[in-house]
Amino acid sequence: MSAVELIASAVREGRTTAAVAANEVASRLEKTAALNASLNWSAERLEAEAARVDRASPSDRAKMPLAGVPIAVKDNIVTTEQPTTCGSRILEGYVSPFNATVINRLRAAGAVIACKANLDEFAMGSSTEHSAFGRVKHPDDPSRVPGGSSGGSAALVAAGAVPAALGSETGGSVRQPASFCGIVGIKPSYGRVSRYGLVAFGSSLDAVSTFGRSVDDAARVLAAMSGHDPLDATTIAQPPLVLDPPRRDLKGLTFGLPAEYFPRDLHKGVRAGLDRAIKAVKELGGTIKEVSLPHTRYAVPTYYIIAPAEAAANLARYDGVRYGQRRVGPAGDLRALYQATRGQGFGAEVRRRILIGTYVLSSGYYDAYYRKAQQVRALLAEDFRRAFDAGCDMLLTPTTPTPAFKAGEKTEDPVAMYLADIFVCPVNLAGLPAVSVPVGRSEGLPLGAQLIAPNLAEARMLSAAAALEAALDAAAEVR
């Protein structure tokens, strides 16, 4: 039984209480404080959260799929009970006057919001080094990064502080840290989960996503918060996700291996991890098929036009007028206020992306950059469609080109940092669901494999991921 179901069933059946689970989480959050992964939590608030579940009538509680399950929430998802900072000075101390739809839905499902989780500022980064509140450390090796931008959530789950966590993806920000930390990260189809209350980064790419130590953990949390939301015009008119029953084999399923995701110079450990996954697929009765996604190499440049362009507009609201930190510039007038508030409130990576995004939309450059990127985006999506049309039920790829890298290794070279997302960001551009599952370790560091499925095919993708997970010893060193 998964960690989530273990707690939820015990609380539902009255064998334990949400308060007991919350208490346990509080002590684990204390023990893992050195990771710098959790933000803004307190034992009192945890108790109050748990009390809501424990006060519910037994019959109501019996219907809660996540009764008493403590969940860490990436700090770019708004909550009314604690600050939502987005890892930024500009929102330091900001407490949202409304809750995200996913928070309301998780609470209705009985979940307990355990803490907010550290992140790259405004979810911009691949290492969780770009937080105004300090970098997050990899649970297995503090000198390394946990990945990002949802590194705080990933580290908390990997370290066993919470059984599940929410992250958000714009270009792989959940699958990539899941892979680095040796846990499961699920990115749903675009529009499957409401973005209302997720602080926008790249609105056409953003997706609230989940972490667990098993596919089942992450999938249950995803299912509980999925479904159409009248407050988000980009959610799909679909009822909540219904998970498939677990499967023991992969018979009848075809897994495409896109050649572009297996370059000749692929990291040897990553390659070995994928070989192990491919072998497992075959042993479970699945079929392997070579495919090509010819535009893959253009995904990262496409992403680094579209995401910053949207971000530049999305982050214009942080102007020091209505909320957040205000800094008054030397001239004392409004323009000085804007420039000082934004110039000092945003960190280096966020400022770079705002400037790039402003540049690619500005007069004279729109066609060469933004319009071109939209066209290439369509080609990337078409690549995936062709592969699925050719008979692939899903695609199997590495999640990351390397295991977790060292802190500081890429902070001075933005392009090198962006390339850490080369295998994950095409999925966001196409809006597809994908999951990263651990496949083993290389030199002690976790490795992940990624399954990518057609739009809205989460249920089949997740049952296949669970079968694969069961067949692999993620703790074992790959060769």
Partner 1 sequence: MAWETVIGLEVHVQLLTRSKMFCGCANKFGAPPNTLVCPVCLGLPGALPVPNEQAIRLATQAARALGCTVHTRSIFARKNYFYPDLPKGYQISQFDQPLATGGTIWCESPERGRIGIGVTRLHLEEDAGKSLHDRIPGKTAIDLNRAGTPLVEIVSEPDLRSPAEARAYLTILKQILVYAEVSDCNMEEGSLRVDANISIRRPGDPKLGTKAEVKNMNSFANVERALIVERDRQVALLESGGRVEQVTMLFNAASGTVKPMRSKEESHDYRYFPDPDLPPLVLTQKWIEEQHAALPELPEPKRERFMTRYAITAYDAGVLASERPVADYFEAIVEAGAEAKSAANWVMGEAMSGYNETGRFGVGADRLAKLIGLVKEGVVSLQAAKRVYPELVDRDDDPRAVAERLGLLQVGDAAALGAWVEEVLAANPSEVDRFRGGEAKLMGFFVGQVMKKSGGKADPKAVQPVLVEKLKN
Partner 2 sequence: MSIGRKDVLHVAKLAELAVSEDELPKLTEQLGRIVDYVAQLNEVPAGEQAPPYLAGPDKVTLRPDVVAPVPLARPPADFAPEFAQGLFVVPRLGAMEDQ
Q: Which of 287, 301, 402, 409 binds partner 2 (CB under 8 A)?
A: 301
Indicate the residue among 362 and 375 with the shorter CB distance to partner 1: 362
Question: Residue 91 binds which one of partner 2, partner 1, none, with CB within 5 to 8 A depending on kind?
Answer: partner 1
Per CB under 8 A, does 94 bind partner 1?
Answer: yes
Q: Which residues contact 456 (CB under 8 A, 6 or more apart)?
A: 189, 192, 236, 238, 433
Indicate the residue among 84 and 254 with the shorter CB distance to partner 1: 84
Per CB under 8 A, does 288 bind partner 1?
Answer: no
- Whole-angstrom CA distances from 270 to 98, 183, 265, 280, 471 are 42, 15, 11, 15, 18
Catalytic pick from 131, 150, 153, 173?
A: 173
Indicate the residue among 354 and 467 with the shorter CB distance to partner 2: 354
Binding mask 178-197 for partner 2 (x = CB under 8 A): -----------xxx------
State in angstroms the smallest separation of the CB of 382 from partner 2: 8
173 is catalytic: yes
Q: Report CA 187 to chain centroid distance, whole Å.
A: 7
CB atoms within 10 A of CB 41: 20
CA dihedral 259, 278, 378, 298 (to 10 degrees): -50
Binding mask 376-395 for partner 1 (x = CB under 8 A): --------------------
Q: Which of 368, 390, 475, 476 binds partner 2 (CB under 8 A)?
A: 368
Per CB under 8 A, does 247 bind partner 2?
Answer: no
Per CB under 8 A, does 360 bind partner 2?
Answer: yes
Indicate the residue among 9 and 203 with the shorter CB distance to partner 1: 203
What beta strand segments (E) does 324-425 contain? Answer: 394-398
- Extract the tokens encoding 434: 């994908």
Per CB under 8 A, does 337 bind partner 2?
Answer: yes
Binding mask 339-358 for partner 1 (x = CB under 8 A): -------------------x
On the 0-12 / 13-18 / 19+ scale of CB atoms within 10 A, 386 is middle
CB atoms within 10 A of CB 42: 12
Question: Residue 343 binds which one of partner 2, partner 1, none, with CB within 5 to 8 A depending on kind?
Answer: partner 2
Catalytic pick from 2, 127, 131, 149?
A: 149
- Extract the tokens encoding 73: 């929430």
Is the distance from CB of 175 to CB of 184 less than 8 angstroms?
A: no
Q: Which of 235, 297, 299, 257 is nearest to 429 (CA)?
A: 299
Is the distance from CB of 83 to CB of 93 less than 8 angstroms?
A: yes
Rounded to whole angstroms, the Cα distance separating 155 from 166 reads 12
Question: Residue 352 binds which one of partner 2, partner 1, none, with CB within 5 to 8 A depending on kind?
Answer: partner 2
Percentages (nearest 5) of helix, strand, coil residues in the chain:
40, 15, 45
State in angstroms the smallest separation of the CB of 131 from partner 1: 16
Residues with a known catalytic role: 74, 149, 173
Binding site for partner 1 (CB under 8 A): 77-78, 84, 86, 91, 94, 96-98, 100, 195-200, 202-204, 230-234, 309-310, 312-313, 315-319, 321-323, 334, 338, 358, 361-363, 366, 370
